[in-house]
Chain A
Amino acid sequence: MENEEIKNEKIMNEIGYLAYMMDTEMTMFERIKIKKSSLYRILVAMNIYFIIIILFALFL
Chain B
Amino acid sequence: MFEIIPLVIVLAFLFETMDSCAGMGFGTGLTPLLFVLGYEPLQVVPILLISEAVTGFTAGFFHNEFGNANFRLKKPINRETKVMLNIAIFGCLAIILSVFLTYYAIQLNKSLIKTYVAILVIVMGIIAMIKLKTNTGNYKPKLLTFFSGLAGFNKGIGAGGYGPVVMLGQIFSGIYEKTATAITSFSEGIVSVVGVGAFVFIPVIKNLPIEIDFLLLPSVFTGGFIAALISPYMVRIFPNKIWKIIIPIYALAIGIYVLAQLFIL
Contacts and interface: CB of A to CB of B under 8 A. Distances in A.
A40 B139 CA distance: 35
A3 to B, nearest CB: 18
Interface in B55-114: 58, 61-62, 65-70, 72, 78-80, 83
Nearest to B76: A12
Interface residues of B, number: 38
A1 interface: no
- Give the interface SS of chain A, mostly helix, strand, loop or mixed: helix
B233 interface: yes
A22 B63 CA distance: 13
Given A12-B70, A52-B221, A56-B217, A19 B65 contact: no
Contact of A22 (B65, B67, B221, B233): B67
Contacts, number: 86
Interface string A23-42: 10000100110100010011
B239 A23 contact: yes
A16 B221 contact: no
Contacts of A12: 70, 72, 78-79
Interface of A: 11-20, 22-23, 28, 31-32, 34, 38, 41-42, 45-46, 49, 52-53, 56-57, 60
